A and B are shown apart, each in its own frame.
Chain A
Amino acid sequence: MSSFASRRCVSGLFAITLLACSACAAAASPWAGDLAPIAPADWNRARAAHLLERAGFGGTPEQVDALARLTPAQAVRRLVRFEGVPATTLPPFEHSGVFDEGLDPFPASRPATTDLARERGEALGVQVKPDGNRRMQPVVNRFFYWLRASRLETDRVAYWWANRMLTSPRPLEERMALFWHGHFATNEEKVRDYRKMLIQLDLFQKQGLGNFRTLLIGVAQDPAMLAFLDAAVNVKGAPNENFAREIMELFTMGVGHYGEQDIREAARAFTGWNFRGTAFHIDADRHDDGAKAVLGRRGRFDGVQVIDIILDQPVTPEFLASKLYRHFVREEVDPALAAELGRRLKAANYEIAPFLESLFLSRDFYAPESVATRIKGPVELLVSTYRKLGLTEVPGVPDFNETTSALGQRLMHPPTVAGWAQGRSWITPGLLLERGNFALDLVLPDINYLPGDRYPVAQAGYEIREVHERVRSGQDLTTATRPGGGAGGMEMMAMSSANGDRNEDFNTRYGSYRGWQMAVERVKPIPRTVARLDLTGMVLGAGCRTPEQAVRHLEERFLSVPLDAATRGKLSAFLQKELGTADLKAAASYAEDPLRVLLHLLLSRPEYQLG
């Protein structure tokens, strides 16, 4: 939208347009682009709130007050360097115990599994039956068991992580992990192993504020990433370019700063890099140790050397610094500023913490162009809402993963290797409505909610429920698993619907159903606690005595931009009408419901999406 503003301003066709734009982003404010640190005299509560919003996930008024009492340098050091802040005491992830030795290595697909079983008489640690019908059924059941169990366990990992985001005294650790998760995007759907996803998350949490070279090497040797970008087929003599391409295009340099030949040669340097179980492993026989020419350098490079060559490119620190800037400060970065940021990151030897420290201290970070112009991502929206409410646990209803997924961001499931598009991509008409619906589910929980980790709900679960009913009614498996119930009614069956699985060795649909049952038996349930809110206590405790004061309190607590006076007036009038009085204290015994509806209204506003 600054493009919109700048076009209007630059074209300058109408004086009126020009005047109207004098306050807009294009007419840069004095601090815009100024990387000098702000002075202690310029520090105030609003700036402390802005800092906590971006370098953390926001917080309660008390937490903002505490930051405001420090100097800006102290406040930033507390958030970035964790000075005087204890490490998180949250327990590590509690495994359900779904993995068994025979499951590793997990074949690429169901056909690959049954081929293996046919060839060897066993697969996934399960023997093929010597005789009888559906001899490979137990193998197929086992295949679907792991798919399902790993998926469900990954949802538990995501919950565990969300709870860290909510409660960690070092929120930037989790925010950086989230940033890197989007940068080095890896999806469980392809990795098919929650253990690898957890190991990758651990790397992001531990190394996210550290040195980028260490992190990048860690990612290049990370089992989840290796699985995601097809390391297993990147071998001497037949390099697979997937990882080499993405490391240059998405992780470090961006398009236009390397050639196709560089990718092909770099891919050779990474040949033989793979994993065994959950550990990095170099298969020396499959590594190509011949001479390679990468980005103008020539030698018998291995993967780490290629990474060092990439880190030596002038564009790399600029690319990375700009991405960090766009995430933490604002979407538009001017080329001169990008170059300066790149120089700073390079001068910091790719250390992320000092770079972010100088960013969060800069006047530019507190310029009007930067404040409350950033559209919160879905995960950030939920976590910051919970933090501002003072919750100590992520509610089980609404479900964190289903909600963020409906809003466009499911942890451990970025849509592509490029991660999530940021900024305005988070918002469409449909998604904006969903954000309001989340707020309603939070203040007045959905009583009809069925947890998808226990019951096969919605579309995905329809087939499972159907098969379940029919198997239980004593139908044979072929009948019980026939798609669409066999009742007909379709005018002409599409080809895909007619392709029932007719293999006599096993029944895929039954395997999918049985695998679901086996997974539910072992994966621990997500606790379905509902947030216990006390908005009445919150506003009365803050000294509010009138509906308007209550509106103002909630507005200041939750919104980064003030409402316009008319909207505020309407909301106050609404609350007063629902309370039946202008005396908040007198209404205390029944004010909770009206206040919750008010909060729903407030969190549904366009303004609430900004942070």
Chain B
Amino acid sequence: MSTDHTRRRILKASAGLFVPGLFGTIARAAAAAEADNRILVVFEMSGGNDGLNTVVPYADDRYYRLRPNIGIRPDKLRRLDERFGFNPGLAGFERLWKDGQLAIVHGCGYDNPSFSHFTSMAYWHTATPNSGDDYGWVGRLADTMSPQPAPNFVLNIDSTQSLAVRSRVHTPVVFDDPERFMRSALHEERALLDDVTVASRDNPSRRFLEQVAVSARESSLAVREAWSRYKTPIDYGIVPLGLPKVAACIAAGLPARLYYAGYRNNAFDTHVQQPDLHQRLLTYTADAISGFLRDMERLGQADRVSLLIFSEFGRRAAENTSLGTDHGTANVMFFAGKAVKGGHYGTPSDLGALDAGGNLVHTTDFRHAYASAIDGWLKLGAADQVLKGRFAPVPVFG
């Protein structure tokens, strides 16, 4: 803990040094963002999704040797080609794949992987593996796109705020239930209830609360109106995972450019009796995502919206003795959307070259995929800054 602390301090101290040089780039990026109006939706699969049973390398016998009980037989799979097949639950993804709107990035991970949900997720949230940052990568991205505070710029559909969206400049709008995202109040007290300003100087917690109160006042009406006006004929499946709320906000023309949603609370942590549960989780995920993209098409927004889909790690290559899998390393990531050039990217991890712990060795640092979102999709030319290093984008957007 103390080393973490020291590291953060060093990062903070050095962050100041770059400030003058940054301004020009930020301004350029802001201009580029202004010219464009694209939206990025980041979708998290919390708990460590089992990539090997998601995109199954069925042509590789080693897969079935590693997973004699929970390996998915070829005849059960939704085949993509002569090498890979989707988990049978992924009907929604299969449709996107056939339409050329789904990119699979294989072998994503980072050096010295952590097997802790919390640590690894924090690395993915901050895009700083084996290190740390006060702000999330989506938050830093927001700061780059809009260096001035802009209301309703970042939306996080959840009951608690993700570290990924923590921003220096912006107060992300975080809500779970749009219908409850409002103040109940009597007529005579409403003006006083809304009477909050950011005024305190000497108590940082108080100042933080004031900022959130102002943000709440400014966004709750917009979000609720968006939700009440939104009606869709599209079926998002049994567990829509917040995506209809994202659709409602986009449909209503909210200025948000960055959305964060997903499966919460380690849902994908399938240590025991994995197959049925995992297939169900994937079904819900793929139903919701493909429903969302159809909805974007319906709303005439499909050209503006792309999704990045990730999990904090994959799972151990070999199954465990409880018909499940333990925490692992490298994993598939996905991009979905009309602008995505569907297909395989990156190099699948070699099942014959596992590390000493029996884990997949990653072939692509996940920040290359983040760079695709930042530079390939949002066209900011700012991936280096946001990611604090050079990561060439994976060419999923051409």
Chain A residues with CB under 8 Å of chain B are 1-7, 10-11, 13, 20, 23-25, 108-109, 111-112, 230, 233, 235, 238, 240-242, 245, 249-250, 254-256, 260, 315, 318-319, 322, 334-335, 338-339, 368, 372-375, 406, 408, 415-418, 421, 424-434, 436-437, 440-441, 489-497, 499, 561, 564, 567, 570-571, 574, 578, 597, 600-601, 604-607, 609-610
Contact = CB atoms under 8 A, between A and B. Distances in A.
B12 A6 contact: yes
B159 A430 contact: yes
Contacts, number: 238
Contact of A416 (B117, B134, B174, B184): B117
Interface string B202-240: 111111111011011001100000000000011111110
A437 B182 CA distance: 9
A375 B203 CA distance: 12
Given A238-B320, A240-B320, A429-B220, A1 B2 contact: no
Contact of A408 (B12, B160, B206, B284): B160
A562 B73 CA distance: 67
A335 B9 CA distance: 11
B344 interface: no
Interface stretch (B32-40, B63-71, B263-271, B362-370): B263-271
Nearest to A570: B192
A430 B223 CA distance: 11
3 tightest CB-CB pairs across the interface, nearest first? Answer: A1-B204, A428-B174, A606-B209
Contacts of B216: 429-430, 432-433
Contacts of A436: 183-185, 193
Given A429-B220, A434-B180, A597-B188, A242 B271 contact: yes
A580 to B, nearest CB: 13
Interface stretch (B272-280, B299-307, B387-395): B272-280
B353 interface: no
A567 to B, nearest CB: 7
B151 to A, nearest CB: 11
A492 B290 CA distance: 11
11 contacts: A24-B201, A245-B327, A255-B118, A319-B1, A373-B204, A418-B117, A425-B161, A429-B173, A430-B159, A570-B192, A600-B189
Nearest to B119: A255
A235 to B, nearest CB: 8
A541 to B, nearest CB: 25
Contacts of A440: 184-185
A432 B206 contact: no
Contacts of B205: 1, 372-375, 424, 610
A233 to B, nearest CB: 4
Contacts of A490: 233, 235
A49 to B, nearest CB: 16
A425 B160 contact: yes
A578 to B, nearest CB: 7
Given A240-B271, A339-B2, A373-B204, 11 more contacts: A25-B204, A109-B273, A233-B321, A245-B115, A255-B114, A408-B160, A432-B212, A490-B233, A491-B233, A492-B234, A497-B237
Contact of A495 (B6, B92, B271, B273): B92
Contacts of A256: 3-4
